A and B are shown apart, each in its own frame.
Chain A
Amino acid sequence: MSTLTTFLVFTAAAIGTYLIRISGIVIFGRERYIPPRVEKALHLVGPAAMAAIVANSLLLDEGAWRGFGAWHLAALVAVGVALWRRSSGVTMAAGAVAFAALLLSGL
C-alpha cells in the first residue's frame, strides 16, 4: 500500500471512528427522560465492553485459545489484588510485577 493510500485509510478510519464516538451523544443528547431499563443497560456498557476486551486479549491469541501460563496466572494475581484493594494503580503494579516474575521464572 502506498503512503497516500495508507494515509487515506487512516483518515477514513478516523472519520468513521469519530462518527461512532459522537453517535450516542448526539442521538440521546436531547432526551430528558431515559427509561430506567435503558439507563440500567447503559450502566453495563463499561463492564461488558472491558470484559470483552480482556477475554479476547487474555484467553485468546489471534482468535485461538492462549496456552495456559504466565498470562493467566498474572491476571489472577491482578484480579485478586483488585478485589482486595479496589485500586487501579495497585492492580496495575501487582499484575506487572507478577507477570515479570513469572516470565523470569521461565513460565
Chain B
Amino acid sequence: MEKMTFDKHTSAQFNAELEGARKHLMEMGGLVEEQIEVAFKSLIDVDTDLAEKAIKMDKNVNKMELMIDKETTQILAKRNPAASDLRFIISVTKTVNDLERIGDEAAKIAKQSLELAESGSGPQGFVELRHIGEKVRQMVQGSLDSFARLDADAALAVMHQDKAVDLEYGDAIRTLVTKMMEDPRTISRALSVMWALRSLERIGDHARNIAESVIYLVKGKDVRHKKLEKVAEQLRK
C-alpha cells in the first residue's frame, strides 16, 4: 500500500475536519505524556506538589477526550467515512479512549506518591520502578510517534516492548513480595509501590492497544489478541 494521506479529499472541509481530529489527538497525547512524566517524577522525588499537579492535569485530558469524541462523532454522522478514513476515525476513537485511561492511571500513580510522602520515607523497590517507568514512558511516546508517522513497524516495536515490560513487572512484583515477607513493617509502603507498578503496567497495555490501532489504521489488519510472531508475519506480507 502506498503512503497514506488524509488530505486530497474533494471536500476541503472534510480534510480540515480529519486534520483537526488528528491534531487534537496529538495534543492530547502530548498532555498525557507530560502527565506521566510529572506523576512519575512526583513518585521518585516524593514531591507532593508535582503529585497534585499530575492529578489536576487529568481534568484537561478528560476535556480533550470529550472534545475529540465529539469531533469523530460528527465526522461519522456527516461524512460516512469509508476505507482509510473509516479506519482513521475508528483508530482515533480507540486511541482517545486508551489515552484517557492512561491519564487515569497516571493520576493513580500520583495518588500513590502522596500516600508514600505521608508515610514519610524513601521508597524501596524504586530501582524496578524507575526502570519500568522509563520503559513505559518510551512505549507511550513510541505509540504516539507511530500514530503521528503512520508507521506500522514502530507500532510493532511498541508491542514487543510491552511484552518485555510485562516480564519485568512480574519480576518486580516477586521481589517486592519477598521483601514484604522479610520485613513486615514495609508492607504498606511496598503495597503503594506495587500499586504504582500495576498502574505503569496498565499504561504499557494501553500503549500496546494504541500500537494495535495504528497497525489497523495503516495496514487495515486487526492484530488484537494475536501472538506477536504471527502479527510480525502478517505485517511482512
The answer to whether A and B belong to the same complex is: no
Binding site for A on B (CB under 8 A): none
> Interface of A with B (CB < 8 Å)?
none
